[in-house]
Chain A
């Protein structure tokens, strides 16, 4: 770890401007996370065009803090409305809502806040220590290994994304295919541009992002909008938990944070996987399991520390390898790309000052979360009462102006709406758009590293087998695809039979 870059990153993030943006971003994330039907990814996608005019440190700080704020904000709706504000707060409903019914909403929210703080802080520290270690390893990688990592990233994300493996891989494949639209840099050939000058530069990743993540959410809110407001439980007890409660929950919080960091490391898994895993483990270790589901405070602490710990964990492969582990980290990577910083293992070396700024922003955002959460959690209850119909129309107007802000082009807005409609179709088909976005980001990286590898290997595909690292990565990629096919089930059958007989 280059300590000078670490200190530069810390200095960048500690400016008055950046601290204000971190506080503002956390508050915005809190409100967005608290509203059921909205997600952190959608908010990040909408905020991204706004950060174009900021300097990299400020833009990244704001985005990172929004991500952190939304990870906690989801628990507010989960506890008060019995509806998770974000998918990663689904497990919090099980014990959070019963607690609010018992008049302990404040206690539940307070424990959720502190658990989120500890989980996020620990994952930020893990990010600060692990990413550079992985980064030094990855410096040994050349184009052949980079290609293999990109292939592994796409296949793991595709095979672990929501829905079936075929859906995930198809989504990733479509993203890779769309990444080839535009002028080929090697030969200058326009590919799939239909003589449209606006497509010569390719499909802007931000346009696709806004369309795929924000428009389908707005359309889904419209689809399900009916009369009848949301009724939130009232907060009648104190928000600040007792120190004895936190001490008692600390082993649970530490274990759940560890789960969150490890789950975040795996591309394709996110807060929802981590929170359910942590909830199950908390129940397994509980002395009285019967209380789970009826208002056990440990059932709130576990998922909340896990889903905030995912943030740092997911950023480790993103920063060290340039492979985004989730759609939210894909947006953070996109924010780096917008500033002219290309994803890849050189993020920690050539662009170390900006990358370490992002890492410190994640850590500081968790401290800001504690401050903002204690001050504004009660206020965010009123935000949950905004009618879904209005939110949907507001999202559409923000999508349109956000897409226009990218290149001041109405063509981009039209393209964004097209992606939005396609994203809505994908949601009806149960296909996640996250692999598609990651395919759009990794496509150019894969193509460049593939062409360089072919040059090294004199146009022979065997070049990928000459590198042991690339061979292992490609085998893992193949296994991640095969594990979902009947082939693996056929392989496992003799072992299963033997186990049954034993």
Chain B
């Protein structure tokens, strides 16, 4: 069973419910399509939840039957193989939150400082990039973005901190 799929299915039901309830208060012409889509999403989400629960039940039944020997043999084979490298979930969460903070501070710190801080902190968390490469490549990236987006496209974003 995929927990993410199960949660997505439940989320779909909630979202469909919210849209349906909200749409019921609109005039008829405005309510038609949102209600039709909400019903479709709710039914599909229910189907997703049902299929995940069915898989969970099948997996539990498989573990309890005579197939347990085969299951243990497969588990033993898997134990002998080299384990895959662990996923860096904590790094994903922290760097995403850093990105949110980067957006929040962009106008206060200025684009250049905010981007440099974000890149430096994120790469320090990852620890997979040499600091010389990070410095040079980071400077090139910030330079190119300033050239293309600020200079060429005329994006109205402050480059320097607002307190300077």
Which of under 10, 10 to 19, 20 to 34, or 35 or more describes the interface residues of A?
35 or more
Q: Give the residues in chain A near B7, CB-CB below 8 Å.
A: 425, 429
State whether A177 and B129 are in contact (beta carbons under 8 Å apart), knowing that A170-B12, A187-B26 are contacts in the complex: no
A residues with a Cβ closer than 8 A to B are 50, 52-53, 164, 166-167, 169-170, 173-174, 176-177, 180, 184, 186-187, 189, 191-192, 219, 222-227, 386-390, 392-394, 396-398, 400-401, 404-405, 408, 410, 413-414, 417, 421, 424-426, 428-431, 443, 446-447, 450-451, 454
Per the bound structure, the CA–CA distance linking A425 and B115 in Å amounts to: 26
- A174, B128: Cβ atoms closer than 8 Å: no
Q: Give the residues in chain A near B89, CB-CB below 8 Å.
A: 223
Nearest neighbor of B145 in chain A, beta-carbon distance = A401
- A417, B99: Cβ atoms closer than 8 Å: yes
Q: Can you give 10 contacting A-B residue pairs, CB < 8 Å?
A: A166-B47, A173-B37, A174-B41, A176-B33, A177-B16, A222-B126, A393-B95, A405-B149, A417-B99, A443-B33
Per the bound structure, the CA–CA distance linking A50 and B155 in Å amounts to: 11
Per the bound structure, the CA–CA distance linking A454 and B32 in Å amounts to: 11
State whether A417 and B100 are in contact (beta carbons under 8 Å apart), knowing that A177-B19, A393-B118, A397-B119 are contacts in the complex: yes
State whether A170 and B48 are in contact (beta carbons under 8 Å apart), knowing that A222-B92, A401-B149, A430-B5 are contacts in the complex: yes
Q: Give the residues in chain A near B38, CB-CB below 8 Å.
A: 177
B56 within 8 Å of A by Cβ? Answer: no
State whether A417 and B44 are in contact (beta carbons under 8 Å apart), knowing that A176-B37, A184-B30, A428-B4 are contacts in the complex: no
Per the bound structure, the CA–CA distance linking A393 and B16 in Å amounts to: 34
CB-defined interface of B122-139 with A at 8 Å, one 1/0 digit per residue? 110011110001100110
Nearest neighbor of B8 in chain A, beta-carbon distance = A429
Report the minimum CB–CB distance from B100 to chain A (whole Å). 6
- A174, B12: Cβ atoms closer than 8 Å: yes
State whether A191 and B45 are in contact (beta carbons under 8 Å apart), knowing that A177-B38, A226-B85, A390-B133 are contacts in the complex: no
Q: Give the residues in chain B near A177, CB-CB below 8 Å.
A: 15-16, 19, 34, 37-38, 41
Per the bound structure, the CA–CA distance linking A408 and B107 in Å amounts to: 12
Per the bound structure, the CA–CA distance linking A430 and B106 in Å amounts to: 34
Per the bound structure, the CA–CA distance linking A451 and B87 in Å amounts to: 49
- A225, B34: Cβ atoms closer than 8 Å: no
- A50, B16: Cβ atoms closer than 8 Å: no
State whether A173 and B44 are in contact (beta carbons under 8 Å apart), knowing that A222-B95, A226-B128, A428-B4 are contacts in the complex: yes
Nearest neighbor of A446 in chain B, beta-carbon distance = B33
Contact of B92 among A186, A219, A429 (CB under 8 A): A219
Per the bound structure, the CA–CA distance linking A223 and B5 in Å amounts to: 19
Contact of B156 among A173, A408, A417, A454 (CB under 8 A): A408
Q: B residues 124-164 with Cβ under 8 Å of A? A: 126-129, 133-134, 137-138, 141, 145, 148-149, 152-157
- A413, B103: Cβ atoms closer than 8 Å: yes
- A173, B106: Cβ atoms closer than 8 Å: no
Apart from the given pairs A53-B152, A387-B129, A429-B4, 12 other A-B contacts in the complex at a CB distance below 8 Å: A174-B15, A177-B38, A177-B41, A180-B34, A223-B89, A389-B122, A390-B137, A400-B106, A401-B155, A404-B157, A405-B155, A417-B96
State whether A398 and B145 are in contact (beta carbons under 8 Å apart), knowing that A390-B129, A428-B4 are contacts in the complex: yes
Among A52, A169, A222, A431, the one with the most B-chain Cβ atoms within 10 Å of its Cβ is A222
Q: Give the residues in chain B near A451, CB-CB below 8 Å.
A: 29, 32
Report the minimum CB–CB distance from B159 to chain A (whole Å). 12
State whether A189 and B8 are in contact (beta carbons under 8 Å apart), knowing that A170-B44, A226-B128 are contacts in the complex: no
